[in-house]
Copies of this chain bind each other. A is one copy, B any other.
């Protein structure tokens, strides 16, 4: 078993179950739920995926009316550990700033759910898992999934938990795509929606960057046409290169300049060699090498592909506004000035579509030099914005402060 296998009790230990503990003043429930042959996941590709398991975490307590549910949707390389210590990296949850007692997503007030997406590698069924048809890991025989499939699976888990209405669906980047998909596919279930640093369709440039990452993985001879688990190999080098390329796109040039510039790493002068002379090189290599300890190469292929395929208007006659026609959800769209992966213009297209159907929408462009990654960082203006929007929506919804 590699490090990832030690995580959420993946491949060979599927099933429903949960453990509970308290961390940082939050009541954490770490759980998984399996859906058997009678409840397949009907994928957009036409394939019925069965059986499948969803791993998820909940924070806080569901109120009697079941009206205080916040669904957090994670990004490409995120997972269900939004607010609790990550079992592999030992680091705080990826949105620990955002979720907790007294934080914008206040766990004293809301019942928060975060699910690992279908196709993922932190316990939810994905290409690492055993294909019941062969008894071997799926690899590339895992069906290609979409953002629509991710959301459909999330809805099935909520149904199983007896939760119909979501007070709020929130997420950044690919998480924001899921938020939009939720609002379009299940408008009656979504009271409020917060898509952050995202787009209603993936741009050509973003598809291009994803394709480079996929080619880097597939070029690694240890990838073995996706069957590396059966071969006992690991395309870690290819995955690290993919991560490094992607990581540059998450940052901004001004932030890179401010943080690293042309500073040298632990040396006084250039070495006339290919070691990491510059801090930025050392930083990138570190990003690549730590990522491969917690992520699966095939999951990276499948999830990037789902993002490439995302084009919400396509399901609505090519007119994005049709995706939101008749919606009663209230929206808060957030973008960042220095985000060049999902620039403000992409987010503004969402706002325009919502305006075209007279939806209730706030739009905030936050000034920051931190690039796309700003949604994951301690960004005070984002917190203030989200706290205000969520508090106001909660009051309207009759949720006590």
**A241 in complex: contacting residue of B241, B270, B273, B301, CB < 8 Å:** B241
Instruction: Say yes or no: B284 contacts A212, CB within 8 Å.
Output: yes
* A253 contacts partner chain B, Cβ-Cβ < 8 Å: yes
* A311 contacts partner chain B, Cβ-Cβ < 8 Å: yes
Q: In whole angstroms, how far apart are the Cα atoms of A278 and B207 in the complex?
A: 8
Tell me the residues in window 202-220 of chain A with beta carbons closer than 8 Å to chain B beta carbons.
202-205, 207-209, 211-212, 214-216, 218-220
Complex: chain B residue closest to A215, CB-CB: B241
Q: How far is the CB of A82 from chain B (nearest CB, A)?
A: 28
Instruction: Say yes or no: A253 contacts B219, CB within 8 Å.
Output: no
Which residues from chain B contact A256 at a C-beta distance below 8 Å?
203-205, 208
Chain A 278-293, CB within 8 Å of chain B: the 1/0 string?
1011001100100000
Q: In whole angstroms, how far apart are the Cα atoms of A321 and B208 in the complex?
A: 39
Of A2-10, A100-108, A180-188, A257-265, the one touching chain B: A257-265
**A143 in complex: contacting residue of B272, B276, B305, CB < 8 Å:** B272
**A212 in complex: contacting residue of B44, B215, B220, B241, CB < 8 Å:** B241
Chain A 201-243, CB within 8 Å of chain B: the 1/0 string?
1111101110110111011110000000000000001101100
Which residues from chain B contact A285 at a C-beta distance below 8 Å?
211, 215
**A309 in complex: contacting residue of B208, B211, B270, CB < 8 Å:** B270
Which residues from chain B contact A259 at a C-beta distance below 8 Å?
204
Instruction: Say yes or no: B257 contacts A204, CB within 8 Å.
Output: yes
Instruction: Say yes or no: A219 contacts B241, CB within 8 Å.
Output: yes
Instruction: Say yes or no: A280 contacts B216, CB within 8 Å.
Output: no
Q: In whole angstroms, how far apart are the Cα atoms of A238 and B240 in the complex?
A: 13
Chain A 154-174, CB within 8 Å of chain B: the 1/0 string?
000000000000000000000
Instruction: Say yes or no: A215 contacts B203, CB within 8 Å.
Output: no
Instruction: Say yes or no: B261 contacts A240, CB within 8 Å.
Output: no
Give this chain's copy count.
2
Which residues from chain B contact A253 at a C-beta distance below 8 Å?
203-205, 340, 343
**A215 in complex: contacting residue of B208, B240, B270, B272, CB < 8 Å:** B240
Which residues from chain B contact A343 at a C-beta distance below 8 Å?
253
Q: In whole angstroms, how far apart are the Cα atoms of A44 and B269 in the complex?
A: 13
Complex: chain B residue closest to A239, CB-CB: B219
Which residues from chain B contact A311 at a C-beta distance below 8 Å?
262
* A144 contacts partner chain B, Cβ-Cβ < 8 Å: yes
**A257 in complex: contacting residue of B203, B218, B305, CB < 8 Å:** B203
Instruction: Say yes or no: B241 contacts A211, CB within 8 Å.
Output: no
* A244 contacts partner chain B, Cβ-Cβ < 8 Å: yes
Chain A 306-349, CB within 8 Å of chain B: the 1/0 string?
00110100000000000000000000000000001001000000
Instruction: Say yes or no: B301 contacts A209, CB within 8 Å.
Output: no
Q: How far is the CB of A40 from chain B (nearest CB, A)?
A: 16
5 contacts between A and B (CB under 8 A): A203-B256, A204-B257, A211-B281, A212-B245, A277-B308
Which residues of A are interface residues toward B (Cβ below 8 A)?
44-45, 140, 143-144, 201-205, 207-209, 211-212, 214-216, 218-221, 237-238, 240-241, 244-245, 248, 251, 253, 256-257, 259-262, 270, 272-274, 276-278, 280-281, 284-285, 288, 301, 305, 308-309, 311, 340, 343
